[in-house]
Amino acid sequence: MTENIKIPTVSDLAAQDKTPEVLFWVGCAGSFDDRAKRVTVAFVKILNAVNVDFAVLGNEESCSGDPARRAGNEFLFQMQAMSNIQVLNGYNIKKIVTACPHCFNTLKNEYPELGGNYEVIHHTTFLQQLINDGKIKLKEGGSFKGKKITYHDSCYIGRANNIYEAPREVLASLDADLVEMKRCRTTGLCCGAGGAQMFKEPEHGKKDINIERTEEALATGATTIAVACPFCMTMMNDGVKNKEKESEVKVKDIAELIAEGQGL
Binding residues among 106-145 for another protein as defined by CB under 8 A: 108-110, 113-114
The size of the interface with another protein (CB under 8 A), counted in residues, is 74
Cβ partners under 8 Å of residue 179, min gap 6: 148, 149, 150, 220, 221, 222
Q: How far is the CB of 193 from another protein (least distance, A)?
A: 7
Residue 199 binds another protein, judged by CB under 8 A: yes
Task: For the CB of residue 16, give the shortest distance to another protein in the complex, in Å.
Answer: 19
**Shortest Cβ distance from residue 149 to another protein (Å)?**
22
Q: How far is the CB of 39 from another protein (least distance, A)?
A: 10
Report the residue from 14, 52, 138, 160 that binds another protein according to the rule CB under 8 A. Answer: 160
Residue 207 binding another protein, by CB under 8 A: yes
* Integer CA distances (angstroms), 158 to 17, 46, 153, 211, 227, in order: 38, 23, 6, 20, 12
Least distance from C-beta 181 to another protein, angstroms? 13
Per rule CB under 8 A, is residue 215 in the interface with another protein?
Answer: no
Tell me the closest approach of the beta carbon of residue 221 to another protein, in angstroms.
22
Distances (CA, A) of 171 to 46, 148, 149, 221: 15, 11, 8, 17
Among the residue ranges 88-96, 200-208, 239-247, 255-263, the one whose residues contact another protein (CB under 8 A) = 200-208
Among residues 85 and 174, whose Cβ is nearest to another protein? 85
Beta carbon nearer to another protein, 37 or 94? 37
- Contact residue for another protein among 20, 116, 192, 230 (CB under 8 A): 192
Minimum distance between the CB of residue 3 and another protein, rounded to whole angstroms? 10
Residue type, 148: K
Considering only 90, 145, 202, 263, the residue that binds another protein (CB under 8 A) is 202
Residues between 169 and 188 with contacts to another protein, criterion CB under 8 A? 186-187
**In 193-226, which positions are buried (b, 16+ CB within 10 angstroms) versus exposed (e)?**
bbebbbeeeeeeeeebbbebbbebbbebebebbb
For position 63 contacting another protein by CB under 8 A, the verdict is yes
Of 105-113, 118-126, 171-179, 221-229, the window that binds another protein (rule: CB under 8 A) is 105-113
**All residues at 6 or more sequence positions from 133 whose CB lies less than 8 Å from its CB, including other chains:** none
